[in-house]
A = this chain, B = another copy of it.
Amino acid sequence: MAETELRGVLPYLISPVTDTGEIKEDVLAKLVHHLVDSGVHGLVPLGSTGEFAYLTWRQRYRVVEVVVEANAGRVPVVAGVAATSTLEAVRQAREFEALGVDGILAIMEVYFPVGEKGIEDYFIAVAGAVSLPVVLYTNPEFQRSDLSVKVIASLAKIPNIRYLKDASSNTGRLLSIMNVVGDRLKIFSASAHVPLCVMLLGGVGWMAGPACLIPRQSVQLYNMAMSGQWAHALQLQRELWGINQIFAKYNLAACIKAGLELQGFPVGNPLAPQVPLDAGAREEIRRALKKVKAL
């Protein structure tokens, strides 16, 4: 089986949920069609932006199922697996593989602090549970585990651990990782990094929530970077970064959901106790989207 090669712009999908907890399946499917039609290179349900941390297993499963069906094999689907417990993470990964996803975004949640050995074992177990390519996801701010460069280097030896998505905001860390793992791990930027910088350093793309709102512009930026048009790319990157600056001020899921509502996708509110954006923040987003012609 020719394995999917992941690269390019992979939006982190939001999870549209009603106030009583039902997945808004039509809205999610419509978003999938829109993003794929806009040229994105893959789809990532159940990242941070997808509010995995607020969803029950049943909800998570349905989100992935709807995305896989709506996508219908057009682009790779990489589903987020996230748990504190190894047993549970392994179970999730297997169920998503059975659903037909093309890759696993492996997220480790932490309650009691875990040593490097425990962290490594968690990711090895998830990778061992599936035959799919695995993306390591580190997000020290929200997940309280951190993958040290040493642990990453060790995990890079597992054949199907093939990608890393780092949400640390420390771009130099990516270069340190590249210097250690060489080509064994391919690096995706998160929205905490400037994607263009990561591309300059040798990254293969980005997985990020904002790409839900500016898919075409993101793909254009990616293409510019790939063809070495750095000066032009910088100009576009600076414009698009205005979107990130707003998202950094507010709750991320609330922002993406508010922006999608403005674009005509009735995705609803972030899950309580997260609060929806107020009118002022919505107006900020409206203006920012207009500025980059995403509205």
Query: What is A's interface to B at a CB cutoff of 8 Å?
Result: 20-21, 48, 51, 53-57, 84-88, 108-109, 111-115, 117-119, 121-122, 125, 142, 144, 169-173, 175-176, 178-179, 192-194, 196-197, 200-202, 228, 230-231, 234, 237-238, 241-242, 244-245, 248, 251-253, 271-275
Contacts and interface: CB of A to CB of B under 8 A. Distances in A.
Contacts of A118: 272-275
Given A172-B194, A192-B172, A193-B171, A234 B273 contact: no
Nearest to A174: B194
13 contacts: A54-B88, A86-B272, A86-B273, A112-B142, A112-B251, A112-B253, A169-B170, A170-B171, A179-B238, A196-B201, A197-B201, A201-B234, A230-B230
Oligomer: number of copies: 4
Contacts of A242: 179
A155 to B, nearest CB: 13
Contact of A197 (B197, B252, B253): B197
A172 B191 CA distance: 9
Question: Helix, strand, loop or mixed for chain A's interface?
Answer: helix
A111 B53 contact: yes
Contact of A200 (B51, B170, B234): B234
